[in-house]
Amino acid sequence: MTEFKRDLQYWKFSLYGFVKNLQFFDPFLILFFREMGISFFQIGVLYSVREIITNITEIPTGIIADTLGRRSAMLFAFGFYIVSFALFYLFPSYWVYIGAMVFFALGESFRSGTHKAMIMEYLNIHNMADKKVAYYGNTRAWSQRGSAISAIIAALLVFFSGSYRSVFLWSIVPYLAGMALIASYPRELDFSCDEEECSEEQREKGWKDVVATVKNFIGLFTEPKIRRALINSSLFDGVFKTVKDYVQPILKNLALALPFFTALEGNKRVAIMSGVIYTILYLLTSVASSRASRFHSLFPNRIAGLNVTYISGVLAILGIAVFLNAGIPALAVTLFVIYYLLENLRRPATLGFVSDRIKGSVMATGLSGESQLKTLMVAAFSPLFGLIADRFGLGPAMLLIALIPALVYPLVRFRSED
């Protein structure tokens, strides 16, 4: 097993992931929208708005992070998230929800790639770059533990309030704590310098570096191997992000169909079922993320493990579609759990694979570029998925979304030259 130093900053990185994933609305977001009378297509539009705004602002915020400081960018991110949560709680209106999604998207664009770049920079400074898969996998495991705790707390909030709405209000509390945590990060993580660029004058240039940063970012897509890595990673994660929340209506139907807690109101039964399943799910994904390095060491090389998890993810979605069409929701939920595990086994390896090919001084911009590709895909997939789900059901929608990564796999699979 790959070992690394677990110092104070390691625990800060881990605590960040734990706090960031205390999104108490997460296990109930689709159910919340449905409770408000919103169709699957409208939900898809909300997701698409979030992703489009994230996409538009991704590169500028990545440049801000790389030129003006990553800690400042992260503080902006938490601030925008908090505004979004407040809007969801205070104003039950579809049009306000669009505005809330815009603020959430701004938070996403300031955050995505930035914190990962801080981790990669810390590893470079302390000569631990060769341990990035294990290191990031372990810090990501704390994110999943945060999600597990979040599911329990969210279930209790819904159980005692009888509504999904209160979870947005309570989500503000851990994000305030997250702002204080980021403010405590060392200044050395604000910027990256490569060899001859490591001077105080270079750090003080600020906006003068913007043009050079943009050129370096564009250069990422001119190299076929880097381009293939970015598209492969973004497509897998984009499909996952599109479908992952739709386990919620399946869980709801399962909770109402099972002969348990029949004396309780519907939302309370759903809260118990969702809380239990999501807690188990995130505890398992925590283990998967922390074991990602060990898992990929079972293969002769990294690209073999990445290709296997890609194909397995496609098969998992196809299986979910089959079981939903056959009316076997319990097996569909089981495959959802497996799909989550594959995502968390794969993500630390893809991050390490992609970051190996990106220049340190544009790390936040490059990783934001990967995230931007993912948001483009989610923006396109989500309304289409919602429209098919409204007309034909979740099973056919899952089948359609599985065909996309399956058909393009021959083009984006990793090859021996990678």
| 197-248 residue pLDDT tens | 444 444 444 455 556 556 666 666 677 777 788 888 889 999 999 999 999 9
Over residues 324-341, the pLDDT tens digits come to 999 999 999 999 999 999
Alpha-carbon dihedral sign for residues 259, 265, 270, 275: negative
Ramachandran region, residue 265 (left: φ > 0; alpha: ψ -120 to 50; beta: rest):
beta
Q: What percent of the chain has pLDDT over 70?
A: 86
Q: Which residues contact 204 (CB under 8 A, 6 or more apart)?
A: none
Query: CA 298 from chain center: how many Å?
Result: 25
pLDDT at 202 (0 to 100): 45
Instruction: Specify the 3-state DSSP secondary structure of 304.
Output: helix
pLDDT at 196 (0 to 100): 43
Contact 239, 401 (CB under 8 A): yes
Ramachandran region, residue 393 (left: φ > 0; alpha: ψ -120 to 50; beta: rest):
left
- What is the Cα–Cα distance from 399 to 332, expressed in whole angstroms? 13
Right CATH number for 8-190+198-412 from 1.20.1250.20, 3.90.79.10, 2.60.40.1840, 3.40.50.1820? Answer: 1.20.1250.20
pLDDT at 58 (0 to 100): 74
What pTM was computed for the model? Answer: 0.80
Phi, psi of 38 (to 5 degrees): -95, 135
- Confidence band, pLDDT 50/70/90 cuts, at residue 360: low
Task: Output the CA angle 77-25-322, nearest 5 degrees.
Answer: 115
Contact 313, 240 (CB under 8 A): yes
Contact 136, 116 (CB under 8 A): yes
Say whether pLDDT at 181 is over 90: yes
How many CB atoms neighbour CB 39 within 10 A? 14
pLDDT at 193 (0 to 100): 56
What mean pLDDT do residues 31-57 have?
92
- What is the Cα–Cα distance from 20 to 2, expressed in whole angstroms? 26
Among 177, 203, 210, 171, CA closest to 81: 171
Domain boundaries, the chain: 8-190+198-412
Instruction: Specify the 3-state DSSP secondary structure of 212.
Output: helix
CA end-to-end span of the chain: 24
Over residues 112-162, the pLDDT tens digits come to 778 888 888 888 888 887 887 788 888 888 988 998 999 999 999 999 988
Say whether pLDDT at 103 is over 80: yes
Q: What percent of the chain has pLDDT over 90?
A: 46
What mean pLDDT do residues 270-289 have?
89
